Amino acid sequence: MKPAAAAPGVVAVAYSGGRDSTALLFATLRVAHALGLRVVALHIHHGLQAKADDWLRHCRKQCDAWKRQGWPVTLAWTRLHLHLTAGDSVEAVARRARYQALRRLALEHGAHTVLLGHHRTDQAETFLLQALRGGGVAGLAGMPVTATREGVAWLRPWRNRPRSDIEAYVVQHGLAYVDDESNADDRFARNLLRQQVWPALVGAFPQAEAALADAAAWAGEASACLEALATLDLASLDDGLGLDVQACRRLGTARGRNALRVWIRRMSGHRPSASLLERLWQESAGVSARRWDWAKGELRLYRGRLSWVGRVVAAASEARALPATHLSLKGGGIVAVPGWGGALRVERVREGGVAWERLRRVELRGRQGGEQFQSGHGRPPRALKKQFQAAAVPAWQRQGPLVYDAAGHLLFVPGLGMDARAWATPGRPQWRLLWEPLA
Ligand SMILES: Nc1ncnc2c1ncn2[C@@H]1O[C@H](COP(=O)(O)OP(=O)(O)OP(=O)(O)O)[C@@H](O)[C@H]1O
Is pLDDT at 298 greater than 90 in this prediction? no
pTM tops 0.90, yes or no? no
The amino acid that residue 112 corresponds to is H
What separation in Å is there between the alpha carbon of 64 and the centre of ligand 1? 20
Average pLDDT over residues 358-385: 90
What separation in Å is there between the alpha carbon of 16 and the centre of ligand 1? 5
Is pLDDT at 319 greater than 60 in this prediction? no
Has 18 been labeled as part of a binding site?
A: yes
Nearest CA to ligand 1 atom 21: 18
Lowest mean pLDDT across 237-241, 250-254, 416-420: 237-241
20 lines ligand 1 (CB under 6 A): yes
The structural architecture, per CATH, of the domain 10-204 is: 3-Layer(aba) Sandwich (3.40)
Has 156 been labeled as part of a binding site?
A: no
Find, among 301, 327, 339, the residue nearest to 405 by Cα.
327
The pLDDT score that the predictor gives to residue 315 is: 57
The pLDDT score that the predictor gives to residue 262 is: 96
CA of 183, closest atom in ligand 1: 21
CA of 45, closest atom in ligand 1: 1
118-170 residue pLDDT tens? 999 999 999 999 999 899 999 999 999 999 988 899 999 999 999 999 999 99
Mean pLDDT taken over the chain = 88
12 lines ligand 1 (CB under 6 A): no
Is pLDDT at 86 greater than 70 in this prediction? no
63-85 residue pLDDT tens? 999 999 999 999 999 999 887 77
Is pLDDT at 185 greater than 70 in this prediction? no
Average pLDDT over residues 94-109: 94
Is pLDDT at 291 greater than 60 in this prediction? yes
Has 19 been labeled as part of a binding site?
A: yes
CA of 46, closest atom in ligand 1: 1
As for the ipTM of the complex, it is: 0.95
103 lines ligand 1 (CB under 6 A): no
Residue 283, Cβ density class (10 Å: 0-12 exposed, 13-18 middle, ≥19 buried):
exposed
pLDDT band at 325 (very low <50, low <70, confident <90, very high): confident
Q: How far apart are CA 330 and CA 324, in angstroms?
A: 19
Is pLDDT at 333 greater than 90 in this prediction? no
Is pLDDT at 435 greater than 50 in this prediction? yes
Q: How far apart are CA 2 and CA 11, in angstroms?
A: 20
CA of 55, closest atom in ligand 1: 1
What separation in Å is there between the alpha carbon of 95 and the centre of ligand 1? 10
* HEC-encoded secondary structure of 298-339: EEEEECCEEEEEEHHHHHHHHCCCCCCEEECCCCCEEEEEHH
14 lines ligand 1 (CB under 6 A): yes
116 lines ligand 1 (CB under 6 A): yes
Has 16 been labeled as part of a binding site?
A: yes
Q: How far apart are CA 206 and CA 204, in angstroms?
A: 6
Is pLDDT at 263 greater than 60 in this prediction? yes
The pLDDT score that the predictor gives to residue 108 is: 94
The pLDDT score that the predictor gives to residue 62 is: 98
305-318 residue pLDDT tens? 898 877 655 555 44
Pocket-testing residue among 11, 15, 19, 21, ligand 1, by greatest number of atoms within 8 A of Cβ: 21
403-433 residue pLDDT tens? 999 999 999 998 899 999 999 998 899 999 9
Q: Where are the beta strands (DSSP E) in 15-138?
A: 38-45, 73-79, 113-115
Average pLDDT over residues 14-21: 97
CA of 19, closest atom in ligand 1: 27
Average pLDDT over residues 242-255: 95
Q: Are 42 and 102 in contact (CB under 8 A)?
A: yes
Average pLDDT over residues 284-295: 87
Has 20 been labeled as part of a binding site?
A: yes
Q: Where are the beta strands (DSSP E) in 16-102?
A: 38-45, 73-79
